[in-house]
Amino acid sequence: MASPQPAPQLDESSRRVDTVAIVGGTGALGFGLATRWAHVGIDVRIGSRRPDAAQAAAAHLPGASGGENAAVIDGAPVVVIAVPFSAHVETVRSIAEVMQPGQLLIDTTAPMVPGRRGLRPITLWAGSAAEQAQDLLPVGVSVVSAMQTVSAATLQDLDQVLDEDVLICGDRATDKAVAAALIERIQGLRAVDCGPLDISGVSERITALLVGVNRRYKTHAGIRLTGLPVPQTSSGLGRPA
Amino acid sequence: MASPQPAPQLDESSRRVDTVAIVGGTGALGFGLATRWAHVGIDVRIGSRRPDAAQAAAAHLPGASGGENAAVIDGAPVVVIAVPFSAHVETVRSIAEVMQPGQLLIDTTAPMVPGRRGLRPITLWAGSAAEQAQDLLPVGVSVVSAMQTVSAATLQDLDQVLDEDVLICGDRATDKAVAAALIERIQGLRAVDCGPLDISGVSERITALLVGVNRRYKTHAGIRLTGLPVPQTSSGLGRPA
């Protein structure tokens, strides 16, 4: 492992992040996010356990690079984890060895398993995948959960118009603001502050419900919260001042 | 208890229900539903443990009647339960003594308790309130879950325009069709088939998340599923034929 670069400082003045590392960036959701972000000029670093796969994926996107997970994390202010739930613990334990205080992890994981009648959420002892990640990461690395309700297929297809909300949970307002600003660089996504990390289990469970709706209605459904006192194209968590 | 009337037959030909009993109809959600339904001409029977309170509430609504829970259930094709979670088991056990095969129960309960940081979902052994109800009811009484994400305050205020989805879970398509048709008599609500009753725990948990959003954004948020291949004012679960 290369010696880490100085840890980035995340505060109000650095809300706008221009570099993001995506652990599991060759997967459906990770590559979908990479696609959208790369096309709005963000420096996307695609991470994988297999550097060659990461580099091959990056070659499809403008300005993106690819490498082993630990390498792409090094110095990135924001790291997104987008791996299947079955790889969550192992992957988090692995990146915990390289993440530095001040880096922010956005966890997109939805804990679920295939049941007889479709994908079903499962209950983690920590309460949610995001809290499980927070438990495993070094002190000073914050976790925000997001993106569990956005279709990977829709993200990957730039011809598809996004028009939905992203539910964000986290314990620090500044972390959520950073994540929201990054997510809202993707046109058509509005970030909604859904509360502390301990409510993330709700967002994470919605994925299984949506997968069932998708199968039933033959679509890629998303979530929109109605009644918010802000435009659906707002930014910065859209809360009243 | 009066001797029960013949059990109604619920099938495709009787999708349109014109009578509904609301157990807990004097509460915020129950009275909100009663208000909307009474104003579109549905025969609303408000139930309560206290018949005088039920009658007093019914006096505010056109054509509504009120009475003790067991009395209003008698002969009603559809029964809605809208009680606080803390009263769920006791109430279901009580109505289980009077409900008859063929009657449909729509369970609106969201299992949650006040935590240090707000209302938080709790996990029932049965998986969800709706499944707990199904376990406790006689064979032949079906349960559908719905309405956990619709604001009681908005329902009660007829000047408020509703514009959101109702997540419906249940094991029988005909039951869900009956519930959907009844719910969609309320203008601005679209029923979405979210799958079998065993996914209801997801819908039920969303309530706590929305309550937090409401507090944070000072609103009454609802849920809209985006990307469904049907108009937002559709009816009959809006699935493609």
Do residue B221 and residue A228 have CB atoms under 8 angstroms apart?
yes
Q: How far apart are CA A87 and CA A110, in angstroms?
A: 11
Q: How confident is the model at residue A15 (pLDDT cuts 50, 70, 90)?
A: low
Q: How far is A123 from chain B (nearest CA, A)?
A: 9
Tokens of B128: 């969800």
The mean pLDDT of B205-217, rounded to a whole number, is 97
Residue B83 reports pLDDT greater than 80? yes
Query: Facing residues of A234 across strands?
Result: none
Residue A230 with chain B: CB contacts under 8 Å? 217
Cα separation values, B39 from A92, B42, B221, Å? 54, 7, 23
- So what's the pLDDT on residue A231? 72
The tens digit of pLDDT for each residue in B127-163 reads 999 999 999 999 999 999 999 999 999 999 999 999 9
Q: How confident is the model at residue A14 (pLDDT cuts 50, 70, 90)?
A: very low
The tens digit of pLDDT for each residue in A188-238 reads 999 999 999 999 999 999 999 999 999 999 999 999 999 998 777 655 565
- So what's the pLDDT on residue B163? 95
In residues, how long is chain A?
241
Percent of chain A with pLDDT over 70: 90
> For testing the chain A interface, which of B226, B230, B232 should be mutated: the one with the most A CBs within 10 Å?
B226
Contact A130, A138 (CB under 8 A): no
The tens digit of pLDDT for each residue in A118-166 reads 999 999 999 999 999 999 999 999 999 999 999 999 999 999 999 999 9
Tokens of B14: 């009787």
> In sequence order, which residues have a C-beta less than 8 Å from that of residue A52 and are 6 or more positions away?
none
Q: Tally Cβ neighbours within 10 Å of residue B43.
A: 15
The tens digit of pLDDT for each residue in B92-101 reads 999 999 999 9
Per the prediction, chain B carries an average pLDDT of 92
Query: Could you say which residues from 100 to 139 on chain B have a Cβ atom under 8 Å away from some Cβ of chain A?
Result: 115, 117-118, 120-121, 123
Q: How confident is the model at residue B208 (pLDDT cuts 50, 70, 90)?
A: very high
Q: How far apart are CA B119 and CA B115, in angstroms?
A: 6
Nearest chain A Cα to B239, which residue? Answer: A217
Contact A149, A222 (CB under 8 A): yes
Q: Which residue has the tokens 């007093």?
A: B56
Q: What angle do CA A16, A128, A187 make, to 5 degrees?
A: 30
Q: Which of B123, B219, B240 lies at the smallest CB-CB distance from A227? A: B219
Q: How far apart are CA A235 and CA B18, in angstroms?
A: 45
Do residue A226 and residue B228 have CB atoms under 8 angstroms apart?
no
Tokens of A77: 């202010």
What's the count of helices (H) and strands (E) in chain A, helices before strands? 8, 11
Residue B220 with chain A: CB contacts under 8 Å? 227
The mean pLDDT of B110-128, rounded to a whole number, is 96
**Hey, what's the torsion of the CAs at B33, B35, B36, B38, to 10 degrees?**
110
Q: Which of A167, A196, A230 lies at the smallest CB-CB distance from B117? A: A196
Residue A205 with chain B: CB contacts under 8 Å? 201-202, 205
Phi and psi at residue A74, in whole multiples of 5°?
-55, 110
Contact B147, B106 (CB under 8 A): yes
The mean pLDDT of B194-208, rounded to a whole number, is 98
